[in-house]
Structure 1
Amino acid sequence: MKISVVIPMYNSEKTITTCINSVLNQTFRGEIEIIVVNDGANDNSKTIVEELILNNSSSIDIRLINKVNGGVSTARNAGMKVADGDWIALLDSDDEWSANKLERQIQVLKENPAIDFLGACRNGEKFSNILWKKLGDLNKISSRDLLAKFVFIVPTVIFKKEILSTVGYFDENLRFAEEGIFFIKIAQNYNCYLLNESLAFTGGGKPHFGHSGLSGNLKEMEKGELKNLRELLNLKIINYFEYLLLVAFSLLKYIRRIIIVKLR
């Protein structure tokens, strides 16, 4: 089992070393490759990664791909397309993994070979429920579960590379909420599970929305979410009545987030 870790990078000179080191320091002893995709950074990010590659004494291969700036979806896709692993794990350049992240997830995957996609939690948190559905330690997550509560966090997920041949890649026209439709499509077609343990540390502990970074632009995030709902309707994953309910629910969440940010 080989794991390809795909890290999109843009102007991440302050965080990329910690990010990559969190992969190099994994307790998992299987085969790993790191693919860093430089999405046209104009700071020192590229030089820092080149130095890490030059001084890398571990058994983990680090590759750097340079491309013109096109957004996080284009960068993730570029990395996934050249991945050699049987499994792909995603990590963002301002996030890091717990030392046992891969070891714990691979243990679960070996014990449950029917799982195609496995997410986890972050920042010491756990999910207690999705609406009236109580969540335990390991939970099967459907596409409809994700419509009610989005429990899959990008830097925690690992999935079979073969999924890409069926579902495709991230929508490169989306710069916000890009993971939403991608993960829902996967959950519609494959066995997706949530390991209800915190195995990643994201965004330096900053709030999950309304702060710097891509998640900071609440308006654009909402536009991305509404676009995802329209595509789900077109794909007939939801019907028109469900679409209207979900749009209303999304707008209410958007208003709530604006109020929370203003009161912070």
Structure 2
Amino acid sequence: MLSIVVPVYNSSETITSCLQSLVDQDGVSFDMEIIIVNDGSTDESSKLIHDFISKHESVEFTYIEKENGGVSSARNCGVENSKYKWIAFIDSDDVWRTDKLKKQFETINNSKFNIDFLGCARNNETLSIFGNKVLCLHKASVNQLLVRMFPQTSTALVKKAIFDKVGGYDESFTHAEDGDLWVRICNVADFYYMPDSLVTTGGGKCSFGESGLSANLSSMLLGNRRILSKQLKHGNINVGFYSLMLAYYQLKHVRRQVITMKNKLL
């Protein structure tokens, strides 16, 4: 039923709590596997992972070690080695609430709509799109994703067939790789978001201006521009929307720089 992909790179400080949140899921009565992809870690991550696996023999784990190729490469590797209908991702510094899978699969199974992708809120945040708060199950459009780039990776469930159909992660992206994949999925599938906050990401830190890939704001801006260019090239957006979004991304980039500088001064 579900394959959970966990990319790991030098995550010794967080990997144990991340994995614990997976095995602590309530109400999981379906087949589930946890695929851990060690992307060339040089710290104690491998030892901690093996110690954790040895203490949870009833859980189906697959452990893969590979040369460092980046998070997109690690996630693709995990999906390639998965065997179930649904794929979930979680970053090694994030944790799931114990009812995350229960609530998401209840939503999928009880909905009158076909759902190919389902994300949710994180860190008790409320998503607003064009000034409107999302307070119930919401089907997203490509334009909405380009404006907000939601949801965060560790909240997502996606059908493996859909992931494979769009070609998985574009490994040439070093930043904004999730946004690129989500938009491509939204172009061909039923892409939904639920407002329940079921994940804590990065210890609750801000999604930019902190540790991790998102700290590189200039690269994030370039990644978002690449996503726009790809969508324009394939005819999924028009020139007017493309130009508007370029200006919007630049303004958002400046705002993030200001916030980051303020945080450093505090």
Shorter-chain TM range is over 0.9
- Read off the aligned partner of 1:213 and give its amino acid letter: G
Confirm whether residue 108 of structure 1 aligns to residue 107 of structure 2: yes
| 1:21-65 deviation per Cα after TM superposition (whole angstroms, max 9, x unaligned) | 10000003222100010000000101111121222133x211111
1:164 deviates by 2.2
CA contact (8 A) 2:118 2:192 kept: yes
- Read off the aligned partner of 1:144 and give its amino acid letter: N
List aligned pairs for 1:202-217, cutoff 5 A: 202-217=201-216
1:133 deviates by 4.6
Quickly say closer, same or farther: Cα 1:260–1:132, change in 2 above 3 A.
closer
- For structure 1, which runs of at least 5 residues remain unmatched after alignment? none
- Read off the aligned partner of 2:174 and give its amino acid letter: R
List aligned pairs for 1:17-96, cutoff 5 A: 17-29=16-28, 30-58=30-58, 60-96=59-95
List aligned pairs for 1:222-241, cutoff 5 A: 222-241=221-240
Rounded Cα–Cα distance in structure 2 between residues aligned with 1:84 and 1:132? 40
- Read off the aligned partner of 1:40 and give its amino acid letter: G
CA contact (8 A) 2:120 2:193 kept: yes
- Read off the aligned partner of 2:146 and give its amino acid letter: L
Corresponding residue number in structure 2 for 1:163: 162
CA contact (8 A) 1:125 1:197 kept: no
CA contact (8 A) 2:126 2:134 kept: no
TM-score, normalised with respect to structure 1: 0.96
Corresponding residue number in structure 2 for 1:187: 186
- Which segments of structure 1 move beyond 6 Å, counting only runs of 4 or more? none
TM-score, normalised with respect to structure 2: 0.95
- Read off the aligned partner of 2:42 and give its amino acid letter: N
Corresponding residue number in structure 1 for 2:119: 119
- Match of 2:124, SS? coil
- Match of 2:223, SS? helix
1:151 deviates by 2.4
1:132 deviates by 4.8
- Match of 2:2, SS? strand
Greater shift after overlay, 47-56 or 34-43? 47-56
Rounded Cα–Cα distance in structure 1 between residues aligned with 2:21 and 2:160? 22
Rounded Cα–Cα distance in structure 2 between residues aligned with 1:202 and 1:73? 18
Rounded Cα–Cα distance in structure 2 between residues aligned with 1:191 and 1:255? 33
- For structure 2, which runs of at least 5 residues remain unmatched after alignment? none
Rounded Cα–Cα distance in structure 2 between residues aligned with 1:118 and 1:261? 30
Corresponding residue number in structure 2 for 1:253: 252
State how many pairs are aligned. 261
Rounded Cα–Cα distance in structure 2 between residues aligned with 1:201 and 1:20? 13
- Read off the aligned partner of 1:193 and give its amino acid letter: Y
- Match of 1:17, SS? helix
CA contact (8 A) 2:126 2:133 kept: no
Rounded Cα–Cα distance in structure 2 between residues aligned with 1:141 and 1:241? 20
Confirm whether residue 141 of structure 1 aligns to residue 140 of structure 2: yes
Greater shift after overlay, 44-53 or 196-205? 44-53
Rounded Cα–Cα distance in structure 2 between residues aligned with 1:141 and 1:6? 24
- Read off the aligned partner of 2:215 and give its amino acid letter: G
CA contact (8 A) 1:22 1:98 kept: yes
- Match of 1:162, SS? helix
- Match of 1:215, SS? helix
